[in-house]
């Protein structure tokens, strides 16, 4: 049996229409456009404002565009992996809702929880499933409605996050030298005190107490998370380069988790990679958690050429972190023309 490689054959994305600007945030909390731009590099973020719509809506819109763009038959999809921190419900899975809405009759699906590293981890899982030979076509969706867990009275966190979704089609190929080449993924388990949501889980179930104390919002110790993120992501990138005998000259594109512009710049500097090679769109979308990497790919797809070497890297609650080496499998400009 020929060796199978897993390749991304298409990208879909979706961000809501409503734009939450720094100017509007400055009327909600004690902040300014200058303060936000200097510290995190975010100018605006998209927010899903319609009542009754959650993460599954964002995910479905991205996946629907993906199917239309690629022309993939919905009946040919074997599985759907949806990674999110903000599921529609505790149960059923958000993946099951999306499968039902899209009419994927032959697919099974599940939610994957790895916070801001969700896309990195899910792509690796999908790649392994493809390489097993049991599955041919898998949709990976990263989607988060971060506005649903952000405290808009906390100026430290409310400026960071936005809503959005990115989706990729992962398929099998026997062509050598393209697709997912290597992944270095780690979970160190030290991050609970520094980045979490206190209320709503089995340790601290919902109650009047948790609501009164605003425990159902994201909590973050910014300085600690910043330090861990820079150290972990830069070390992971260096490790993936070393393992694959790559230098900075061999890398065409670096696509990091879009958490904070200062983090991105620090990671690139520590890993000796020119900032010109780094795909950055945080200024327009903010931190969309798991969705940042696929949204960046969706945004810049036209620039990518078959054979380009990519490094993906991310860091999130847990702490979870990692980096992946991916070799692009198609001419992005021709794919964008299909839109």
- Give tens-digit pLDDT for 50-93: 999 999 999 999 999 999 999 999 999 999 999 999 999 999 99
Residue written as token pair 């409605």: 145
- pLDDT of the residue at 1: 64
Catalytic residue among 5, 22, 260, 287: 287
Catalytic residue among 5, 158, 257, 309: 257
Catalytic residue among 5, 22, 116, 309: 116
pLDDT at 337 over 70: no
Asked whether the beta carbons of 163 and 178 are under 8 A apart, the reply is: no
Question: Is 116 annotated in the active site?
Answer: yes
Rounded to two decimals, the pTM is 0.98
- pLDDT of the residue at 2: 82
CB-facing half-sphere around the CA of 81: CA atoms within 13 A: 25
Tell me how far apart the alpha carbons of residues 16 and 295 are, in angstroms, rounded to a whole number: 13
Average pLDDT in the 179-199 region? 98
pLDDT digits (tens, 9 = 90+) for 203-256: 999 999 999 999 999 999 999 999 999 999 999 999 999 999 999 999 999 999
Strand partners, 14: 165
- pLDDT of the residue at 336: 77
- pLDDT of the residue at 85: 98
pLDDT digits (tens, 9 = 90+) for 284-331: 999 999 999 999 999 999 999 999 999 999 999 999 999 999 999 999
User: Counting every residue, how long is the chain?
Assistant: 339
Question: Is 106 annotated in the active site?
Answer: no
Question: Is 287 annotated in the active site?
Answer: yes
- pLDDT of the residue at 17: 98
């Amino acid at each position: 049996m020929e060796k199978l490689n897993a390749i991304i054959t298409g990208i879909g994305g979706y961000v809501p229409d409503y734009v939450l600007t720094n100017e509007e945030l400055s009327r909600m909390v004690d902040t300014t456009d200058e303060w936000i731009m200097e510290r995190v590099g975010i100018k605006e973020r998209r927010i899903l404002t319609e009542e009754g719509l959650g993460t599954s809506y964002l995910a479905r819109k991205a996946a629907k565009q993906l199917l239309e763009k690629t022309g993939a038959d919905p009946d040919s999809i074997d599985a759907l992996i949806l990674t999110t921190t903000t599921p529609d419900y505790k149960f059923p899975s958000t993946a099951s809702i999306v499968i039902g809405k899209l009419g994927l009759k032959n697919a099974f699906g599940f939610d994957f929880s790895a916070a801001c590293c969700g896309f990195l981890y899910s792509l690796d899982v999908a790649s392994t499933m493809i390489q097993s030979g049991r599955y041919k076509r898998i949709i990976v969706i990263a989607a988060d409605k971060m506005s649903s867990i952000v405290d808009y009275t906390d100026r430290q966190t409310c400026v960071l996050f936005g809503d959005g979704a990115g989706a990729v089609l992962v398929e099998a190929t026997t062509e050598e030298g393209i697709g997912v080449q290597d992944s270095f993924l780690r979970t160190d388990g030290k991050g609970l005190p520094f980045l979490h949501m206190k209320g709503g889980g089995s340790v601290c179930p919902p109650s009047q107490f948790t609501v009164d104390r605003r425990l159902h919002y994201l909590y973050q110790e910014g300085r600690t998370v910043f330090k861990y993120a820079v150290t972990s992501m830069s070390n992971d990138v260096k490790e993936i380069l070393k393992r694959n005998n790559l230098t900075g000259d061999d890398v065409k594109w670096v696509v990091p988790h879009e958490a904070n512009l200062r983090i991105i710049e620090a990671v690139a500097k520590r890993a000796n990679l020119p900032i010109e090679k780094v795909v950055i769109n945080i200024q327009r979308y903010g931190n969309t958690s798991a969705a940042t990497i696929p949204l960046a790919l969706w945004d810049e797809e036209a620039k990518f050429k078959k054979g380009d070497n990519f490094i993906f890297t991310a860091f999130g609650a847990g702490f979870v972190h990692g980096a992946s080496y991916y070799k692009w499998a198609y001419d992005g400009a021709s794919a964008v023309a299909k839109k």
